[in-house]
Structure 1
Amino acid sequence: MHSSAVFLIEFGAIILGLGLLGRIAGRLKFSPIPLYLLAGLAFGEGGLLPLGASEEFVAIGAEIGVILLLLMLGLEYTATDLVTNLRTQYPAGLVDAALNALPGAAMALLLGWGPVAAVVLAGVTWISSSGVIAKVLGDLGRLGNRETPVVLSILVLEDLAMAVYLPIVTALLAGVGLAAGSVTLAVALGVAGLVLFLAVRYGRLISRFVSSDDPEKLLLVVLGLTLLVAGLAQQLQVSAAVGAFLVGIALSGEVAEGAHNLLSPLRDLFAAVFFVFFGLHTDPASIPPVLLPALALAVVTAATKIATGYWAARRSGISVKGRWRAGGTLVARGEFSIVIAGLAVTAGIEPSLGPLATAYVLILVVLGPLTARYTEPLATRLSRLTRRHRPDTSAGDAPPALASEGPALTVDPDTAMSGSATHMTLPPSRGGS
């Protein structure tokens, strides 16, 4: 009876604290993820007030949080969207992987952590935070900009790549041999391909089977189906998160929108618990020794993400200002970097990997919204300064009549779009938020 009371007190305090931290983040207009991580650090090993009775329940809640994060992400896209993006935007996805995964792998090898940790840290530095980026785009009023579909396409490709990447990481962390790992990957690819095929061909039938006019029944069916598929996927040595992601893809139309609205509060609750859980397993004293490598990695991969967005937007014919905006928007890392690092922490492959990932995400989840806002103005100002100090060899060729004219009015074609941004259709996302 006493332990039950302690559990209720501890878990109630956690939920109340998360709510207050979320409110503070909302007032300051930035992502609450850093505050959740810091809360976990404060109440974990070596923290101010370590938890006891509620830690096991928090662990289960964290696992549900990962599953709901991936389910909600799958609900944002249709199978057709994913196939279309894979066909048209795969060069941008390859550039994204090369520029942003390699620095993480190189850092792990330089630190002497070995090839398995290199694969894990490559994923941590590769995947941008869809949640943070979506919020930033809305806050900055850029949903109708021409570069926004490019940003979304890169995020979709990253999410699709996770369906292949997570089983590989899971097999590596489990220490299975080459043959068993190949079987696991083949099963994961086969299941993903089968789900995409069924979603394209029979998506309406699946959605009709799940559909219900009663919100309670819809919530129970979708949540139960997701947890069941996630558990089966994990039993087959495929990531439970991938199973949840594929369930989200298979649902479409009104069912997806209704499930999105019903599950959003649950997602936010358990995702917050997940971030706290990750912080609980990171000793605050272990962060200062890896702070310098984390800062160096954050600077390098912020630059490579900006380069990725710039290149992808240029390939799509976006103007220079739009290219810089696209690059700056992609910098934020968050939930998926923590998910990947959490797998390694649970497996216990490298004690310093968790603290490094925590510091890295804390830096970039704060820096990301700033680069989204200021990369383009800074690039424009630097460009003007460069032109001002560069000799103008064409001044003498200008017609005399133009010399007396005032400065020309310039309009950015990426933001000068007709109609309100709220009425724009944004491929590939079909979000209900």
Structure 2
Amino acid sequence: MHSSAVFLIEFGAIILGLGLLGRFAGRFHFSPIPLYLLAGLAFGEGGLLPLGTSEEFVAIGAEIGVVLLLLMLGLEYTASDLVSNLKTQYPAGLLDAALNALPGAAMALLLGWGPVAAVVLAGVTWISSSGVIAKVMGDLGRLGNRETPVILSILVLEDLAMAVYLPIITALLAGVSLAAGSVTLAIALGVAGLVLFLALRYGRVISRFVSSDDPEKLLLVVLGLTLLVAGIAQQLQVSAAVGAFLVGIALSGEVAEGAHNLLSPLRDLFAAVFFVFFGLHTDPASIPPVLLPALALAVVTACTKIATGYWAAKRAGISAKGRWRAGGTLVARGEFSIVIAGLAVTAGIEPSLGPLATAYVLVLVIIGPLTARYTEPLATRLTGRRKQPPAARATKTEALPEALEPVDDGTADRA
């Protein structure tokens, strides 16, 4: 009885604290993810007040959080959208992988962590945060801009790449042989291809089977199906997160919209628990030694993400200002980076990888909304000064008062 009371007190305090942190972040219009990570650091190993009885439940909640994050991402897209994006935007996806994965791999090798850690850290630096980016674009009123489909295409390609990347990581971390790893990857690709085929050919049938006018029944069926498929996927040595993502892709229309509305609060709850769980297993004292490498990696990969977005938007015929906005928006890392690093932390391949990933995500999840907002005006100001001679700038300033100068808010680049 005493232990159950302590559990309720601890877990209730965690949820209440996360709610207050979320409200604080919302008031100042930034992502609550860094605050959740800091909360985990405060209550984890070496923190201010380590948890006791509730840690096992938090671990289970964290697994559910990962599953729901990937399910909700899958609900955003249809199978036809994914196929179309693969055909038109794959060059941008390849450039994205090259520019942003290689710095992480190089850093791991420079630190002497070995090839497996290099593959893991490559994934941490490669994948942008779809959740943070979607929120930032909504806050800035850019969902209707012409560069937005380019941004979403890159995010979709990254999500698809996870279906191949996560099984590879799982096999490497488990230390299985090349043959066993190849079988795992083949199973993952086979399952992904099968689900995409079923979604394209029988998506409406699946959606009708799941559909219900009763929100309670719809919630239970979708959530139960997702957890079941995720569990089966994990049993087959395929990532549970990939299984959940493919379930989301298979659902479409009103079912996807209804499930999204019903599951959003659950996703937010368990995703917050997931970020706390990651922080719980990171000793705050282990972060200072890796802070400089994390900062260096953050600066380099912020620049490479901006370059990726700029090139992809230019290829799509977007104006210069829209290109800079696309690049700046893609900088934020978040849930995917933590998921990948969490797999490595659980496997215990490199003690410093978790702290470095935590510091890296903390830096970029704070900088990301700032680069989304200020990359374009800063780049416009700098490039304008380089192109224009001083005399011309002075004449323009005198001829056009500051109050009458045109301001580009992105509406010119809207579809």
How far apart in 1 are the matches of 2:309 and 2:194? 31
Distance 1:406 1:139 in 2: 31
**Which residue identity lines up with residue 156 of structure 1 in the other structure?**
V
Displacement of 1:384: 2.1
Asked if structure 2 preserves the Cα contact closer than 8 Å seen for 1:226 and 1:244, the reply is yes
For residue 112 of structure 1, give the secondary structure of its aligned residue in structure 2.
Answer: coil
Note if contact 1:44-1:282 (Cα within 8 Å) is conserved in structure 2.
Answer: yes
Could you tell me how far apart the structure 2 residues matched to 1:406 and 1:352 are?
A: 55
The equivalent of 2:191 in structure 1 is: 191
Matches within 5 A, 1:229-268: 229-268=229-268
Aligned to 2:70: 70
CA contact (8 A) 1:319 1:412 kept: no
* Structure 2 counterparts to residues 113-124 of structure 1, below 5 A: 113-124=113-124
Query: 2:294–2:356: 8 Å Cα contact kept in structure 1?
Result: yes
SS at match of 1:20: helix
How many Å separate the matches in 2 of 1:221 and 1:262? 12
CA gap 1:292/1:258 in 2 versus in 1, 3 angstroms: same
Q: State the alpha-carbon separation in 2 of the partners of residues 242 and 254 from structure 1.
A: 23
Deviation digits for residues 310-365 of structure 1, max 9, x if unmatched?
A: 00000000111110000000000001100000000000000000000000000000
Q: CA deviation at 1:383?
A: 1.2
Conservation of the 8 A alpha-carbon contact between 2:99 and 2:308: yes
CA distance in structure 2 between the partners assigned to 1:383 and 1:391 by the alignment? 16
Q: Which stretch of structure 1 is more off in the superposition, 409-418 or 1-10? A: 409-418
Q: How far does residue 387 in structure 1 lie from its aligned partner after superposition?
A: 2.4
Whole-Å Cα distance in 1 between the matches of residues 312 and 221 of structure 2? Answer: 39
Q: How far is 1:385 from its partner?
A: 2.0
What's the counterpart of residue 349 of structure 1?
Answer: 349
CA distance in 2, matches of 1:290, 1:409: 46
Give the corresponding residue for 2:211.
211
Secondary structure of the structure 1 residue equivalent to 2:411: coil
**CA separation in 2, counterparts of 1:414 and 1:321?**
8
* 1:399 corresponds to: none
Write the distance in 1 (CA, Å) between the matches of 2:294 and 2:413. Answer: 40
> What is the identity, as a one-letter code, of the residue corresponding to 1:73?
L
Q: How many pairs align? A: 410
Residue identity in the other structure for 1:135: K
TM-fit CA distance, 1:24: 0.3
User: Which amino acid in 2 is paired with 1:307?
Assistant: A
Alpha-carbon deviation of 1:405? 8.4
* Corresponding residue number in structure 1 for 2:160: 160
Partner of 2:411: 415
What amino acid maps onto 1:304 in structure 2?
T
8 Å Cα contact 1:318-1:414 kept in structure 2: no
Structure 1: runs of 5+ lacking an equivalent: 396-403, 419-423, 425-433
Following TM superposition, by how much is the alpha carbon of 1:415 offset from its aligned partner in structure 2, in angstroms?
2.3
Shift of 1:388: 3.7
Give me the TM-score of the superposition, normalised by structure 2.
Answer: 0.96
Give the distance between the partners of 2:41 and 2:300, measured in 1 at CA: 26
Question: Is the 8 Å Cα contact of residues 103 and 301 (structure 1) preserved in structure 2?
Answer: yes
C-alpha offsets along residues 248-306 of structure 1, whole Å, 9 cap, x if unaligned?
00000000000000000000000000000000000000000000000000000000000
* Equivalent-residue separation in structure 2 for 1:390 and 1:94 (angstroms): 41
User: Post-superposition shift, 1:386?
Assistant: 1.3
- Unaligned runs of 5+ residues in structure 2 are none
Contact 1:101–1:125 under 8 Å retained in 2: yes
Is the 2:328–2:368 Cα contact (8 Å) retained in structure 1?
yes
TM-score (norm 1): 0.92
Counterpart for residue 2 of structure 2: 2
Query: Which 10-residue stretch deviates more, 316-325 or 408-417?
Result: 408-417
Is the Cα contact below 8 Å between 2:318 and 2:413 reproduced in 1?
A: no
CA distance, structure 2, for counterparts of residue 353 and residue 413 of structure 1: 40
3-state SS in 2 of match to 1:5: helix
Whether the aligned pair in 1 keeps the contact of 2:203 and 2:250 (CA below 8 Å) is yes
SS in 2 for 1:303: helix
Alignment of 1:119-198 (within 5 A): 119-198=119-198
Tell me the equivalent position of 1:275.
275
Residue 34 (structure 2) pairs with residue 38 (structure 1): no
Counterparts of residues 279-318 of structure 1 (less than 5 Å): 279-318=279-318
Give the distance between the partners of 1:174 and 1:331, measured in 2 at CA.
31
Judge conservation of contact 1:147–1:414 (CA < 8 Å) in 2.
Answer: no
Residue 19 (structure 1) aligned with residue 24 (structure 2)? no
For 2:406 and 2:375, how far apart are their aligned partners in 1? 19
Identity %: 89
Which amino acid in structure 2 is aligned with residue 416 of structure 1? Answer: A
Q: How big is the shift at 1:409? A: 8.0
CA 1:411–1:16: 2 relative to 1, 3 Å:
closer
Determine helix, strand or coil for the equivalent of 2:412: coil
Q: 1:115 to 1:390 in 2, by over 3 A?
A: farther
Q: Which amino acid aligns with 1:318?
A: I
C-alpha spacing 1:371/1:254, structure 2 compared with 1 (3 Å): same
Name the aligned partner's letter for residue 88 of structure 1.
Answer: T
CA contact (8 A) 2:319 2:413 kept: no
Matched, 1:323 2:323: yes
Cα distance in 1 between the residues matched to 2:38 and 2:410: 38
In the other structure, the counterpart of 1:431 is none
Corresponding position of 2:80 = 80
Q: Deviations over 1:359-390 (max 9, x none)?
A: 00000000000000000111011112212458
Q: What CA deviation, in whole Å up to 9, does each residue of 1:16-52 have, x standing for no partner?
A: 0000000000011100000000000000000000001
Shift of 1:413: 10
Computed over aligned residues only, the root mean square deviation of the Cα atoms, in angstroms, reads 1.9
1:379 matched residue in structure 2: 379
AA of the residue aligned to 2:316: S
**1:224 partner SS:** helix
Between the aligned partners of 1:387 and 1:154, the Cα distance in structure 2 is 31
Whole-angstrom CA distance in 1 between matches of 2:96 and 2:303: 12
TM-fit CA distance, 1:406: 6.7
